[in-house]
Amino acid sequence: MRVSVDPEVCYGSGECALRVPSVFTAVDGLGAVLPGREETGEDPQVRDMAERCPSQAIRLH
């Protein structure tokens, strides 16, 4: 399962990069998935972060 951040929805709270730095980072003030980490959507930490994201910008697909 893939994970991505919708830049149209993310408002850059930075929580994903803080809580799960092995998968998320910040680019130009917005959350983003680290290169090569797009297939981590099954990871419980990633799924949990998708639920916690305050703008629901983290997509699992």
Among 26, 16, 13, 11, CA closest to 46: 16
Binding of residue 46 to ligand SF4 (CB under 6 A): no
Q: How far is the CB of 11 from ligand SF4 (least distance, A)?
A: 5
Binding of residue 4 to ligand SF4 (CB under 6 A): no
On whether the CB atoms of residues 33 and 20 are closer than 8 A, the answer is no
Q: Which positions from 5 to 34 touch ligand SF4 by CB under 6 A, shown as an x/- string? A: x----xxxxxxx--------------x---
Binding of residue 53 to ligand SF4 (CB under 6 A): yes
DSSP H helices, 1-61, are: 15-19, 44-52
